[in-house]
Structure 1
Amino acid sequence: MRTDRLTLRPVVPDDAEAFLAWRSRPDVVRYMYLPAWDPATAVLKLRTWSNAPFDQPGDVLVLAVVLGGDVVGETLLKWAAGPRQVEVGYALHPDVSGQGLATEAAGATLRLAFDTYGFHRVFARIDEENTASVHVAERLGMRHEARLVENDLRDGVWSTEVVYGILDREYPGRA
């Protein structure tokens, strides 16, 4: 799938090194509630994701975000337990931040969720301190639906999560 500046495509095992460039950075993964990756983890994850199905609750579709031939980020759809609902996620290398690329990539991923897969509701779970991701959700027209106070641990400290959501009929980028 293409946008004005980006290509989004399914990940392949050869993307491991590119993903490691941001997934190994503590400043990036701190809001993912995951440890930073090492090279072995990158190889394993990309091999797993590249062969993963996306046809039932619990499945995850990970897409590489490509800018000018370079993989600079990722988006994902995680099929939720609720009927026709999916979680969206996004992360880009900090070197390309501030250019609107996260909004562009996440917007394309919403179109994929609604137009290709026929989901009714897309939501994002975001650490409240991750204001950049909150702004992306807001720019996409997602509504603030919930604030879950101290519902998760990040580095041994309780953190608050906010939930943003949008319905298929509300998404302005819908075909």
Structure 2
Amino acid sequence: MTTGRLRLRPVTAADAEAFLAWRSRADVVRFMYQQPWDRAAAEQKLRAWASAPFADAGDVLVLAVEVDGVVVGETMLKRAQGPRQAELGYAVRPDAGGRGLATEAARATLALAFGVYGFHRVFARIDEENAASIRVAQRLGMRQEARLVESDLRDGVWSTEVVYAILDREHARAAHVGAANA
């Protein structure tokens, strides 16, 4: 899948080195609800994701985000327990931030979620302290549905999570308005 500046494609095991640029950083992965990766973890995860099915609740589809052939980030769809629902995730290397790449990649991933996979609702779980990720969700037209106070314990510190979501009809309406304004 391509956008104006990006190419999104399924990850491969060869992407491990690129993913370490952000997934090995504690300041980035603290918002991803996991520990920093080392090379072994990166290789194992990318191998698993590259060959994983995307059919049942809990399955993930991870896409590498490329700019001019260089992997600068990722997007993720995770099938949720609810009927026709998925979770959206996105991340870019810190040195690639601030240029709208995460928004562009996440927008393309939403189009895939609704247009190809036929999801009814897509949501994003975001640490309340992750202001950049919240801004991405808002630019995508997602609305805040919940604020879960001190719902996660990371490294002995409670964090508050916000949930943003968008329905298929809301996404279609926003895409229609965007096309009309183009």
Asked if 1:160 corresponds to 2:165, the answer is no
User: Residue 139 of structure 1 aligns with which residue?
Assistant: 139
User: Residue 67 of structure 1 aligns with which residue?
Assistant: 67
Aligned length: 175
Q: Is the 8 A contact 1:33 1:153 kept in 2?
A: no
Amino acid at match of 1:173: A
Deviations 1:94-125 (A, max 9, x none): 01100000000000000000000000000000
Deviations 1:37-66 (A, max 9, x none): 000000000000000000111100000000
* CA distance in structure 2 between the aligned counterparts of 1:124 and 1:74, rounded to whole angstroms: 14
User: Residue 91 of structure 1 aligns with which residue?
Assistant: 91
Amino acid at match of 2:136: V
User: Residue 169 of structure 2 aligns with which residue?
Assistant: 169
Deviation at 1:153, TM superposition (A): 1.0
User: Residue 9 of structure 1 aligns with which residue?
Assistant: 9
Amino acid at match of 1:71: V
Q: Which runs of 4+ in 1 moved over 4 A?
A: none
* CA distance in structure 2 between the aligned counterparts of 1:35 and 1:57, rounded to whole angstroms: 23
* CA distance in structure 2 between the aligned counterparts of 1:155 and 1:110, rounded to whole angstroms: 32
Where structure 1 has 5 or more consecutive residues not aligned to the other structure, the ranges are: none
Superposition RMSD in Å: 1.0
Deviations 1:61-80 (A, max 9, x none): 00000011100000000000
User: Residue 27 of structure 1 aligns with which residue?
Assistant: 27
- Give the TM-score normalised by the residue count of structure 1: 0.98
Q: Is the 8 A contact 1:107 1:173 kept in 2?
A: no
Asked if 1:129 corresponds to 2:129, the answer is yes
Helix, strand or coil at the partner of 1:87: strand
User: Residue 118 of structure 1 aligns with which residue?
Assistant: 118
Higher helix share: 2
User: Residue 100 of structure 1 aligns with which residue?
Assistant: 100
Deviation at 1:173, TM superposition (A): 2.7
Where structure 2 has 5 or more consecutive residues not aligned to the other structure, the ranges are: none
Q: Is the 8 A contact 1:102 1:136 kept in 2?
A: yes
Deviation at 1:33, TM superposition (A): 1.6
Asked if 1:54 corresponds to 2:54, the answer is yes
